[in-house]
Chains A and B, each alone.
Chain A
Amino acid sequence: GVMAFFSMFVAAAPVDEELIIDGEFNMITRTASPEGHPLSEVTSGWLYRTDETRDQQADSFENPGMLAVEEGEVFWNTVDGSAGKSCASCHDDAATSMKGVGAKYPVWDVASSKPINIEQRINLCRIDNMGAQAWEFDEQGQKPLAAYIKNQSLGLPVSMKLDEGDMQKWWEKGKETYYSRMGQLDFSCANCHEQYNGSYIRADHLSQGNANGFPTFRQKQGTLVSLHSRFQGCIRDTRAEIPEAFSDDMMALEVYVTWRGTGLSVETPAVRQ
């Protein structure tokens, strides 16, 4: 009734709590923003979620996203392609070889003269080093393996290198997109995630829209969700045409959005609503 309806606004600001995963990983969920950032503090989406959702992420046995990470480990060890190799053949134990890797992505790829993300880097190794086929967007092992790799950076701060190749230009293109008003509803990413983070759209507590937890377990969809899928979802909600995953515009957006979360701990697999 009326009381339940009003009590929802009691905790309007993001919570003031610490995230320690498995009593071991002290997570950075709030930090001073990088230079040039419009906000003074960068905050993780974790802080905007309900008590139950936040608790799930603090315990790996409760985190529904960890099933995908386990799936990813299986892919890591599975031979595929004409070269008869698995990821493990060249990269051995991911806990060692992949530690810190996920926290730096997306990175500049000299060969293609573009930024690449973890999903594309996986495909590159499949094609170049395994004689296997690239995985389509969100298909087969792409999400679980991306989650597995990023999970090896759990707790480490997001930190991309913008001074490699033309990264800076891509960052600028991503920034342009971030601030463009889109669709019939005429919303920009900045409208919701910069101007109104902390406010509610219906029951959704708007966060800063950071990428540090991706791929993320999304309760609404009951599955692991990739970053480009999330971008597509938000853009769909502006009633604009949905751009293709991994297109140049979407890659530029990933570069810029990832940068906006600089300093936050990698949380993959984050648990979100």
Chain B
Amino acid sequence: MIITTTLALADVTLPDEVVVENLRIEKSLSGSPGDAAQGRKTFADRSLGNCLACHLNSDLSDELFHGNVGPSLDGVATRWKPEQLRTIVVNAKKVFTERTIMPGFYSLDVGEDVREDLIGKTILTAQQVEDVVAYLNTLE
């Protein structure tokens, strides 16, 4: 049990260890595959992904009022490879430049005066990112 947990933790890539090459992050951040069904929940959760704040997503049309600050994510899996989607979710700046309004969900390259209880914390955990990426990969 203890050995498994230690190995599992050893597979987690910490935010400052993430390597982006050619807009891609090759490996799972958590060391485990993402769960698309869970990712759909994380995506819609206002306290987690809150992606509907900015993105239209027809797969979640039961949720009212999708934002339009960002583009529609309908068919996003046909536009980006999963390794690129991972980069976008981890730190959109790496793909869309520093000027992007989209937050970095697994990055400590954040703004000034972070709320004290959130200092050193990422918006999403490694597994949550994997789940969201797996979910995005189903949007064809």
- Chain A residues near B (Cβ < 8 Å): 1-2, 4-5, 8-9, 12, 180-188, 191-192, 195-196, 199-203, 206, 238-241
Contacts and interface: CB of A to CB of B under 8 A. Distances in A.
Sort A-B residue pairs by CB-CB distance and give the 10 closest, nearest first: A203-B65, A186-B111, A181-B111, A182-B111, A240-B113, A191-B101, A241-B113, A184-B118, A199-B69, A183-B111
A195 to B, nearest CB: 6
Given A186-B111, A240-B112, 19 more contacts: A1-B61, A2-B58, A5-B65, A8-B65, A9-B68, A181-B110, A182-B112, A184-B103, A185-B103, A185-B110, A185-B111, A191-B101, A196-B69, A196-B101, A201-B53, A240-B114, A241-B114, A241-B115, A241-B116
B67 A199 contact: yes
A9 B114 CA distance: 33
Contacts of B53: 201-202
B27 interface: no
Interface string B51-68: 011100010010011111
B69 A239 contact: no
Contacts of B52: 202
Interface string B73-112: 0000000000000000000000000000101100001111
A146 B58 CA distance: 45
B67 A200 contact: yes
Question: DSSP class of A's interface residues: helix, strand, loop or mixed?
Answer: loop
Given A186-B103, A199-B69, A241-B115, A2 B110 contact: no
A180 B111 contact: yes
A184 B114 CA distance: 5
Given A1-B61, A186-B103, A200 B115 contact: no
Contact of A200 (B68, B110, B113, B123): B68
A239 B61 contact: no
Nearest to B114: A184
A109 to B, nearest CB: 27
B114 A199 contact: no
Interface string B18-46: 00000000000000000000000000000
Contact of A203 (B64, B116, B118): B64
A4 B62 CA distance: 10
Given A5-B61, A201-B53, A182 B67 contact: no
A191 to B, nearest CB: 5
Nearest to A199: B69
B54 A201 contact: yes
